[in-house]
C-alpha cells in the first residue's frame, strides 16, 4: 500500500488515479485522448443522469410512462439511451403500497446506459445475499424505512434482463417541469434503495 511519507496515510483516490494515469501515459500504455473520451462518456452520456431523464419524462408524460412500463428498452431508446448492458431493461414502478428493489445475486449486472457503473455496495456480497432474504432490514440499514404494509419485491438482474425502478414522484413537485425534476432523481432511487426527496 502506498502512503504519504509525511503522514503515513494514503493519498486521496483522485491523486492516486492521476499518478497512475501519468505513469501509464509515460509508458505508452494508454492514450490520454482515449482516456478523456471514456471519462466524458461516463460523465455525460452514460450514467444516472440518463436514468433521471427517463424518470422525469415518465412523471410528466403519462403516455411515455405507459410505454416505459410496457417495454422499458424501447422507451428508454426513444430518449437516445442504449448500448452495452442495456439491451433488455425492464422497468417497475414504486407506489405507496409496492416497493421494488434491484440486486444482482450472481455478480453485478446493471443497466449501464441509464445508471452508469454500479456502486461498490451493489457489488458487495453482503448486499447481494441479504437483500433477497431480508430486504426490509437491508433497506432500513441503508436509510429507507418502509411501513409494514408496503409490499417489497426484489428483482434479480441477470445478463439477459436488467431492471430499473421508476420511483414515486414526491409530493409537492406537481408544479415542477420535466427539466426541474431531473436533478431530484438519484441513482439509489432508481435501484430502489432510496426514495426521491422533494426539493
From CA 147, how far away is CA 137, in angstroms rounded? 12
Q: Please confirm, yes or no, whether 14 is among the known catalytic residues.
A: no
Say how far apart CA 177 and CA 91 lie, in whole Å.
Answer: 22
CA–CA separation, 117 and 46 (whole Å): 8
Task: Give me 27's grid cell.
Answer: 509508458
State whether residue 72 is helix, strand or coil: helix
Q: Do residues 164 and 187 make contact, with C-beta atoms less than 8 angstroms apart? A: no
Q: Which of 14, 82, 109, 120 is catalytic?
A: 109
157 catalytically annotated: no
Contact 162, 86 (CB under 8 A): yes
Which of 107, 129, 140, 177 is flagged as catalytic? 107
Q: 10 Å Cβ neighbour count for 71? A: 15
Question: Residues 14, 82, 108, 120: which is the catalytic one?
Answer: 108
Counting beta carbons within 10 angstroms of the beta carbon of residue 141, is it exposed (0 to 12), middle (13 to 18) or buried (19 or more)?
A: middle
Catalytic residue among 82, 104, 129, 140: 104
CB of 166 closer than 8 Å to CB of 72: no
| Rg (the chain; Cα; Å) | 19
Is 108 among the catalytic positions? yes
The catalytic site residues sit at: 104, 107-109
Amino acid at each position: 500500500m502506498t502512503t504519504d511519507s509525511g503522514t503515513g496515510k494514503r493519498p486521496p483516490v483522485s491523486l492516486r488515479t492521476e499518478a497512475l494515469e501519468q505513469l501509464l501515459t509515460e509508458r505508452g500504455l494508454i492514450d490520454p485522448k482515449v482516456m478523456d473520451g471514456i471519462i466524458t462518456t461516463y460523465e455525460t452520456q452514460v450514467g444516472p443522469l440518463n436514468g433521471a431523464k427517463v424518470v422525469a419524462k415518465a412523471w410528466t408524460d403519462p403516455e411515455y410512462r405507459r410505454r416505459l412500463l410496457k417495454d422499458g428498452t424501447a422507451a428508454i431508446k426513444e430518449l437516445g439511451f442504449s448500448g452495452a448492458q442495456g439491451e433488455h431493461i425492464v422497468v417497475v414502478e414504486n407506489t405507496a403500497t409496492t416497493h421494488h428493489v434491484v440486486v444482482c445475486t450472481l455478480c453485478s449486472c446493471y443497466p449501464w446506459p441509464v445508471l452508469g457503473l454500479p456502486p461498490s455496495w451493489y457489488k458487495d456480497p453482503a448486499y447481494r445475499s441479504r437483500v433477497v432474504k431480508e430486504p426490509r432490514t437491508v433497506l432500513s440499514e441503508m436509510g429507507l424505512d418502509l411501513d409494514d404494509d408496503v409490499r417489497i419485491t426484489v428483482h434479480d438482474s441477470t445478463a439477459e434482463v436488467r431492471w430499473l425502478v421508476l420511483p414515486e414522484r414526491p409530493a409537492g413537485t406537481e408544479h415542477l417541469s420535466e427539466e426541474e425534476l431531473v436533478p431530484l432523481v438519484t441513482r439509489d432511487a432508481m435501484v430502489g434503495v432510496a426514495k426521491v426527496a422533494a426539493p
